[in-house]
Amino acid sequence: MRTNPHHHLTEPLTGLRNLGILAHVDAGKTTVTERILYLTGATYKRGEVHEGTTVTDFDSQERDRGITIFAAVVSCAWDGHRINLIDTPGHVDFSDEVERSLRVLDGAVAVFDAVAGVEPQSESVWRRADRHGVPRIAFVNKLDRAGADLDTAVESIRERLHVTPLVVQLPIGREDGFTGVVDLLTMRSLVWAGDSMAEGPVPGSLLEEARRRRRLLEETVAELHPTALEEFCAEPEISAPTLTAALRDLTRTGEGVVVLCGSAYRDRGIEPLLDAIVAYLPSPLDVPPVRGLQDGVEVARAADPEAPFAALVVKVNATATGRLTYLRVYSGTARKGDTVLDAGAGRTERIGRILRVRAERHTEVERAVAGDIVAVVGLKAARPGATLCAPAAPLLLEPPVVADPVVSVAVEARRSTDAERLATALARLVEEDPSLAVRTDSETGQTVLSGMGELHLEVAVEKIRRDRGLDIGVGRPQVALRETVVRGVSGLLYRHVKQDGGAGQYAHVVLDVRPLDGDGATGFAFGSTVVGGRVPREYVRAVEAGCRDALADGPLGGHPVTGLRVTLTDGATHAKDSSELAFRTAGRFALREALRACAMVLLEPVVEVTATVPEDAVGGVLGDLAARRGRVSGSAARTGPGGMVVITATVPLAELFGYATRLRSRTQGRGTFTTRPAGYAPAPSGAAG
């Protein structure tokens, strides 16, 4: 069933799948990707994560650490379709990579561990995919492991993800004896041995169970899909073609999720997964047209090769030898040599070469058409999230959301002569990864690197060490604190008046400041209740901008301020001397003064920790979490896979530095944990900052 990799596809857009592989750490995303590349003929050898030989974990740190850090794009072909595949990282510190990937995907495969079921990070990425409206199918992996069970994994999908699982396979054999599946649509068996897959009739011993499950699938589909229901009522059974069509519809609306299973590591279950990707997940033509701003007005652009060009920058790889920019083309066609506009930056760039990203080598193509994901050489400055478009038809696509960095470290070059090289290296790193930020501390003069977590920063610093051979000193990690309002003020009047010759400035504003509703709520809301046009609309907007300026440093310690609502209640203008600038300045100083009058409190980031530990270590682990100011959640400890106990707790991020080492030693290396952001909580007085 292997297709010829050199077969040249001049496929229509309907044959294209932009697909992401999503899951919790270690569920097997990279291994699934690797098997897909092998089966589609994109590679000639199966790579292994633990041997550091996979295509998508190509970075030396990924290979050393055995985890995916950077989302990687790779293209392959299956059954006359082309698949652009993005293997994403599972670790929470790199979830911005996932967010950026989701922005440009049309569909995804969510991979689950058949022993652990739905894990916290799979739940988080599932929610993210919901927000982006990305249709998914589920692959329950690692069916070969001791304790693996498809049915329990499916139940956890139903319970934790609140979706209706549509299970289309029945496993043949358990754990070590897992050899194949019964395809419940065709009612045929698929059995794998070594490199080959054999199709045959359903084994007699499984026939009854297979029929029962087929019936269950029909019932579930009939409940959700009108055409299927009609056939279900009129005929003895729903035919395979009707089922397939219904499953495709339900996948696209998200009303149900098709569940397949297998063992990527043992090469079992990947062919049907590829068939399902092609059958159920949408092409670029099946998803709604992209929306963007044209002269400030929202417009839709269809995935039409003849329309004006518009693309979103997904990723940038800036290496010493050049800059590779990954684009998702949403409309139009780009050709080698074209000039395109970076709509946000207002700068034009030239497309040097266009590459299709393949496993073994990249191949040059003449053009990139709507729907495709390609890599481009020659762009000098476009950053991830930028829109590139035809200069004659500017369009600004919404950039992916970038999370606020929560952890920072001071970095310095150990040799003072390296200071400039370090600054350049940091600047380049930030260009590639918008979830990193660099600033100079105004008090200490130190260079401070901020990111999504301890591992994120460790990887960033190590990358500079490796790529540039720089000797770098790194300070202790610090969490990013916030300030919030606990008791507001009302009727704060601020007058900004300068009328001593020349162009004057005149702005009066009156503000109310209140905490945002909800404990630990973050964000900023602004409104105006000014009546009778006492403050014209453009000045109201200027006041809002001024307030946003003031949020950058709060009165307690210069931390960003969040979780408040500001209302402009009154103001006054001067016929000649009022301007947007005057009102922006007034807004800034007014809020700054108001915040000094408010009761404020420091907030620190907290995370939800899920630790899986051996039973005899539970007491010690709970005690340790308490000492770290952790609050163990309701159903404190539940029994997880393999007799391990799963503990969930909310812990301040500041207390978690170095926790990996501690947990390992407390559990003789058997305990593992993952975290996910759980917002902010009031910090104890005297919190580090």
DSSP codes, 438-471: EEE-TTT--EEEEESSHHHHHHHHHHHHHHH---
Rg (CA), the chain: 28
From ligand GTP, Mg ion, none, interface partner of 145 (C-beta below 5 to 8 A by class): ligand GTP
Q: Which is nearer to ligand GTP, 50 or 537 (CB)?
A: 50
From Mg ion, ligand GTP, none, interface partner of 257 (C-beta below 5 to 8 A by class): none
Q: Which is nearer to Mg ion, 326 or 506 (CB)?
A: 326
From ligand GTP, Mg ion, none, interface partner of 542 (C-beta below 5 to 8 A by class): none
Q: Which is nearer to Mg ion, 29 or 225 (CB)?
A: 29
264 lies in the site for ligand GTP, by CB under 6 A: yes
From ligand GTP, Mg ion, none, interface partner of 466 (C-beta below 5 to 8 A by class): none
* Among 22, 27, 77, 370, interactor with ligand GTP by CB under 6 A: 27
By CB under 5 A, the residues from 23 to 62 that bind Mg ion are 29-30
Binding mask 190-209 for ligand GTP (x = CB under 6 A): --------------------
By CB under 6 A, the residues from 85 to 104 that bind ligand GTP are 89-91
From Mg ion, ligand GTP, none, interface partner of 265 (C-beta below 5 to 8 A by class): ligand GTP
Q: Which is nearer to ligand GTP, 115 or 311 (CB)?
A: 115
DSSP codes, 174-196: -GGG--EEEETTTTEEEEEETTE
Binding mask 199-238 for Mg ion (x = CB under 5 A): ----------------------------------------
Binding mask 280-319 for ligand GTP (x = CB under 6 A): ----------------------------------------
Q: How far is the CB of 263 from ligand GTP (least distance, A)?
A: 4
Q: Rounded CA gap, 383 and 577, in Å?
A: 40
Residue 203 DSSP one-character state: P
* Among 263, 569, 610, 675, interactor with ligand GTP by CB under 6 A: 263
Residue 123 DSSP one-character state: H
By CB under 6 A, the residues from 516 to 575 that bind ligand GTP are none
Q: Which of 114, 101, 122 is nearest to 25 (CA)?
A: 122
By CB under 6 A, the residues from 128 to 157 that bind ligand GTP are 141-142, 144-145
Q: Rounded CA gap, 149 and 452, in Å?
A: 34
* Among 18, 40, 68, 528, interactor with ligand GTP by CB under 6 A: 68
Q: Which residue has the tokens 């003895």?
A: 236
CA 170 to chain centre: 31
Q: Which is nearer to ligand GTP, 55 or 430 (CB)?
A: 55
* Among 42, 49, 386, 395, interactor with ligand GTP by CB under 6 A: 49
Q: How far is the CB of 30 from Mg ion (least distance, A)?
A: 3
Q: Rounded CA gap, 689 and 684, in Å?
A: 11
From Mg ion, ligand GTP, none, interface partner of 264 (C-beta below 5 to 8 A by class): ligand GTP
Q: Cβ contacts of residue 266 below 8 Å, gap of 6+? A: 144, 178, 192
Q: Which is nearer to Mg ion, 29 or 128 (CB)?
A: 29
> Hey, what amino acid is at 256?
G
Q: Which is nearer to ligand GTP, 49 or 83 (CB)?
A: 49
68 lies in the site for Mg ion, by CB under 5 A: yes
Q: Rounded CA gap, 308 and 294, in Å?
A: 12
From ligand GTP, Mg ion, none, interface partner of 142 (C-beta below 5 to 8 A by class): ligand GTP
67 lies in the site for ligand GTP, by CB under 6 A: yes
Q: How far is the CB of 132 from Mg ion (least distance, A)?
A: 20
From ligand GTP, Mg ion, none, interface partner of 263 (C-beta below 5 to 8 A by class): ligand GTP
From ligand GTP, Mg ion, none, interface partner of 81 (C-beta below 5 to 8 A by class): none
DSSP codes, 368-419: EETT-EEEEE---SPPTT-EEE-TTS--EEPPPP-PPP-EEEEEEESSGGGH
Q: How far is the CB of 30 from ligand GTP (least distance, A)?
A: 3
Q: Which of 132, 127, 121 is nearest to 18 (CA)?
A: 132
587 lies in the site for ligand GTP, by CB under 6 A: no
612 lies in the site for ligand GTP, by CB under 6 A: no
Q: How far is the CB of 88 from Mg ion (least distance, A)?
A: 8
DSSP codes, 316-328: EEEETTEEEEEEE
Q: Which is nearer to Mg ion, 68 or 610 (CB)?
A: 68
CA atoms within 13 A on the CB side of 582: 24
Q: Which of 555, 485, 491 is nearest to 523 (CA)?
A: 485
Q: Which is nearer to Mg ion, 68 or 325 (CB)?
A: 68
Q: Rounded CA gap, 638 and 647, in Å?
A: 7
Strand partners, 448: 410, 439
646 sits in which H/E element: strand 645-652
DSSP codes, 524-555: EEEEE---TTSS-HHHHHHHHHHHHHHTTS-T
DSSP codes, 301-318: E-S-TTSPPEEEEEEEEE
> Hey, what amino acid is at 15?
G
Tell me which residues touch Mg ion (CB under 5 A): 29-30, 68
Tell me which residues touch ligand GTP (CB under 6 A): 23, 25-31, 49-50, 67-68, 89-91, 141-142, 144-145, 263-265
